[in-house]
Amino acid sequence: MRELDVMPRCEPETLRFGEIPKCRYSGTLRAEIEAGRITPQAAREMLETMFLVRAFEALIVDMKNNKFSPAPGFKFIGASHLSIGQEAVAVGVMAATRGDDYITSTHRGHGHSIAKGVYALRAMDAEQLKNWLGDPNAQGTREELLQRALKTHLYKTVAELFGKEDGYCRGRGGGMHIADFHLGHLGANAIVGGSSAIAAGAALAAQRLGEGKICVGIVGDGATNNGIFHEACNFAAQDQFKKGIPLLFVIENNQYGMTGQQAGEVTGVDYLARRGAAYNKEMMHAEVVDGMNVLAVWDAVLRGAALCRSDQGPVLLEALCYRYYGHSLSDNRTTYRTPEEEEAWRNNDPIARFSREVVAAGVMTQAEVAAMEQACTDAMRQAAIDAAASADPDPAQIEEGLFSNTMCDEVPARFKHTKLVGELRRARRDGQGRILYRHAIAEALAEEMLRDERVIFYGEDVADYGGAFQATVGLLAAFGRDRVFNAPISEACIVGTAVGAAMVGLRPVCEIMYIDFMGLTMDQTGNQAAKVRYMFGGKALVPMVVRTTVGGGKGYAGQHSQSLEAMCTMFPGLKVVMPSTAYDAKGLLKTAIRDNDPVIFIEHQLLYTERGVVPEEEYLVPFGQAAIRREGKDLTIVAYSRMVDVALEAAEMLAAEGIQAEVIDPRTLIPFDYDAVTASVEKTGRALLLCQAPETGCFAEHIAYQTQKRAWKSLKAPVRIVAAYNVPPPMSAVLEMENLPDAAKVVRNARELLAE
């Protein structure tokens, strides 16, 4: 399937880079109106939206300074990262994109959210507005419905800032994590740069789904120093994507990270747009834009969006702007900024500047501009009064929205007709109907990809090579590089793009070669995949699977042999699966792919060549249902993944001594079948928990706690854990064998437990 031979390229030459334009826009509003590019109404809407953004931020300042209170005794808490001075970027971006395009945003994203909502609502017809309002029988003209929707939009935005149930995210996210998936807003993100890969994944999905949408990933200047931003740019610009993905990165360069200054201090470049030169020959069509001029931003984004829609993305724009306040309202900014600097930027204020253009073009009078500004301030204060009086979330519902606990039971008609590009080979069963564990994995993937065109699969070396453990051989030949492709060695980006792709309609399966590498993904796994549904009010579906492996017994030492499954269970919002048999590997993986929540699917490297009976007929294995691998009455052994084989071997040895051990395989750690373990312990009175991870912090400690809590009266002895030593996995065969739990250790501990 290789399309390109990589031949020696050592001839002398000079590599050259193109030019990056800076502040190329020189138009005026009057000229734009005369040219027919902007209508007077569109100009009024631009100005009004900038006033709304500033009114929201000014509201926060006034509340913090006790100049305004929306209710007697009201106390505003939460983050206050303001973007006063940056309004032209938010409004210029949204005015130049479609209402149904996607955006990702930042912790300084109030303006993005307000502007996105305003422009998305303005683009709707009457029926769409009724649907968004949740009132299909609403009466009134389209304009009346729009005004009602805009008022609701402001109310829901302020309500989220206040942590109220009526907020966009039901108070779960607050001002730093606001989203409305109905309007294409995929979420503000408090992790600097954290949304970069999500934006790339959403853009990839938008292209694959063929809906003509683009994704605008808005990031701050500080985010461009973060690894995930660079990984996302590289991912988006891959040559193997024959059509450039529709991703438009807008760097909102307000000159400071928190206090660190981009130019002359924490970077080695004068303009961040230069970084586009690193990723493809087109330098991501990089451009520096005057971010204090809403028309300049609008013009650049129009051109960038056109490139994206014509398959020439990704695009990188740097908008030069300034935040008038500190990083937050607790930062007085005087330690790192001078009054002269602030005055120079304030003299170029984006709202004052555009107001002058509006008046000069004859669109509005100065009095009308002043009246519009006051109306926006009044509307925002009324929204605050209404939001302050609204209900707080019910503490009894604190867990609502964590999981959807839904499945894709029926594939939409448009995604049912999968086209194969080559022969799909099935694993040959032996005389007992058995196949290898790794073949069961490939078979599950193939069946789900045949069932649903939205399922894509990618990771490091998974395409031509079939993965490090040959578990995906044959998929590329059958489905082609649109559905199966190699990813760069960018683990964080692999997971992050899967999050974005899942949020907008694909069902990605991605692979992280070793669970040891999951540490590189922890922001995208723990702060993004695990949290986006709950943090955004339980509205998002994130149907993604991360396949990874645990090792041990192969001499791979401390960075390729760990059992870090407990790390994944620490993040509420993730489901964690660890199959021990080929039958379960196939059935659980199929369930994982159909599940509408993010799943970490952990395979053991030493199980790949084990055989098991795997039916050719369709079947699923449900989550949260343990399997009793062996029945017994004297002792309960709980083990998962390869440790089930160890437990069964130990049970055979114990049986020779007249001890009947019951072996329970939970199959999934999240959700966990506590009832099965409790019922067994109530029968046997003793519990031995077996896992390959180091004892301190292992998931067995959690099982022990739950077992003691649920079966305390039945226990005849303390719960015992048999685990690895509290050391990194050693390479030496002698040391590694000593470190790993084996049947002899289990038997010894079982005897001691029975003697207590």
Q: Which CATH number fits domain 627-755: 3.40.50.1980, 3.40.50.150, 3.40.605.10, 3.40.50.920?
A: 3.40.50.920
Name the fold adopted by 29-397.
Rossmann fold (3.40.50)
Helix axes 142-161, 110-122, angle to 10 degrees: 160
Instruction: Name the percent of the chain in helix, strand, coil, to the closest 5.
Output: 45, 15, 45
Is residue 557 pLDDT above 70, yes or no?
yes
Is residue 1 pLDDT above 80, yes or no?
no
Return contacts of 671-677, CB within 8 angstroms, 24+ apart: 671/575, 671/623, 671/624, 672/624, 672/703, 672/706, 673/624, 673/625, 673/626, 674/706, 674/707, 674/710, 676/625, 676/626, 676/628, 677/626, 677/636, 677/638, 677/703, 677/706, 677/707, 677/710, 677/711
Q: What pLDDT does residue 326 have?
A: 86
The domain spans of the chain are 29-397, 413-613, 627-755
Is residue 385 pLDDT above 90, yes or no?
yes
253 band by pLDDT with thresholds 50, 70 and 90: very high
Is residue 3 pLDDT above 80, yes or no?
no
- Give burial (CB, 10 Å; 0-12/13-18/19+) of 709: exposed
Residue among 752, 384, 377, 400 nearest 573 (CA):
400
Average pLDDT over residues 221-225: 93
519 band by pLDDT with thresholds 50, 70 and 90: very high
552 band by pLDDT with thresholds 50, 70 and 90: confident
259 band by pLDDT with thresholds 50, 70 and 90: confident
CB-CB neighbours of 717 under 10 Å: 15
Query: Which pTM value belongs to this model?
Result: 0.96
Q: Which CATH number fits domain 413-613: 3.40.50.300, 3.90.950.10, 3.40.50.970, 3.40.50.720?
A: 3.40.50.970
Is residue 30 pLDDT above 90, yes or no?
yes
Q: Starting at the edge strand that comes first in sequence, how are the strands of the sheet with 661-665 ordered?
A: 627-630, 661-665, 635-639, 687-694, 720-724
Report the DSSP beta bridge partners of residue 459: 486, 511
- Give burial (CB, 10 Å; 0-12/13-18/19+) of 532: buried
Average pLDDT over residues 537-549: 96
Q: What pLDDT does residue 77 have?
A: 83
Among 466-470, 523-527, 746-750, name the one with the lowest average pLDDT. 466-470
In the chain, % of residues over pLDDT 90: 90
CB-CB neighbours of 678 under 10 Å: 18
Residue among 400, 656, 436 nearest 539 (CA):
400
Is residue 266 pLDDT above 70, yes or no?
yes
38 band by pLDDT with thresholds 50, 70 and 90: very high
332 band by pLDDT with thresholds 50, 70 and 90: confident
Which of the residues are catalytic? Answer: 560
Average pLDDT over residues 37-63: 96
Q: What pLDDT does residue 78 have?
A: 75
Q: pLDDT tens digit string along 104-157?
A: 999 999 999 999 999 999 999 999 999 999 999 999 999 999 999 999 999 999
Quickly list DSSP for 74-93: ----S-----TT-HHHHHHH
Q: What pLDDT does residue 555 have?
A: 85
Query: What average pLDDT does the chain have?
Result: 95
Is residue 496 pLDDT above 60, yes or no?
yes
Q: What pLDDT does residue 425 have?
A: 87
Average pLDDT over residues 584-588: 98
Q: What pLDDT does residue 600 have?
A: 98
Q: What pLDDT does residue 2 have?
A: 66
HEC profile for 490-513? CHHHHHHHHHHHHHCCCEEEEEEC
Distance between CA atoms of residues 133 and 149, nearest Å: 6
Is the previous residue joined to 12 through a cis bond, with omega within 30 degrees of 0? Answer: no
Q: What pLDDT does residue 417 have?
A: 84
Q: What pLDDT does residue 79 have?
A: 72
Is the previous residue joined to 728 through a cis bond, with omega within 30 degrees of 0? Answer: no
